[in-house]
């Protein structure tokens, strides 16, 4: 292989590596689409968990996709699961939801209301979720308000 061919092959491999890193990093660079509050009600051993929450992803006039979700200030570790989530601006408004708290993943499709905006606000009130993992109990509900 000539020196020029080796250089061209190395340059092509480097460009492919840069492109792969760029593609891998793209989802992590999703914009914040909503901020708000999140409450998990009736959590075993903890009772009510109140958090501030941020949703990252994309939105259109009728739908949104959540590629990252945070819950902070909860007094317990709460982490997003099963991303991406999808949702719709109503009526009715819906959003798939899955968060892990106290060793259990609580998930389900939340149904709520949306104001006309702008900004648009979705409110979910006492929406039942199902727990999986150990120890999980029934009766957990989610209340949340997000401003898009």
What residue ranges do the domains of the chain occupy? 28-147
Q: Strand pairing of 141-147 and 78-80?
A: unpaired
Residue/partner pairs of 109-117 with CB below 8 Å, 24 or more apart: 110/142, 110/144, 112/144, 114/89, 114/90, 117/148
Give the phi and the psi of residue 65 in degrees, each rounded to 5. -125, 130
Q: From first to last of its 148 residues, what are the pLDDT tens digits of the chain?
A: 544 433 333 333 333 333 323 222 334 456 999 999 999 998 877 889 999 999 999 999 999 999 999 999 999 899 999 999 999 998 999 999 999 988 899 999 999 999 987 899 999 999 999 999 877 888 999 999 999 9
């Amino acid at each position: 292989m000539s020196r020029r061919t080796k250089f061209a092959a190395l340059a092509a491999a480097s460009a492919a590596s840069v492109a792969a890193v760029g593609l891998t990093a793209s989802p992590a660079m999703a914009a914040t689409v909503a901020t708000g509050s999140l409450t998990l009600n009736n959590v075993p051993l903890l009772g009510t968990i109140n958090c501030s929450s941020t949703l990252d992803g994309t939105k259109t006039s009728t739908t949104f996709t959540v590629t990252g979700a945070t819950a902070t200030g909860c007094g317990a570790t709460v982490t997003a699961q099963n991303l991406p989530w999808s949702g719709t601006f109503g009526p009715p408004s819906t959003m798939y939801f899955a968060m892990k708290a106290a060793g259990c993943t609580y998930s389900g499709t939340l149904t709520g209301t949306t104001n006309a905006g702008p900004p648009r606000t979705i409110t979910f009130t006492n929406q039942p979720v199902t727990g999986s993992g150990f120890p999980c109990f029934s009766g957990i509900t989610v209340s949340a308000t997000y401003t898009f």
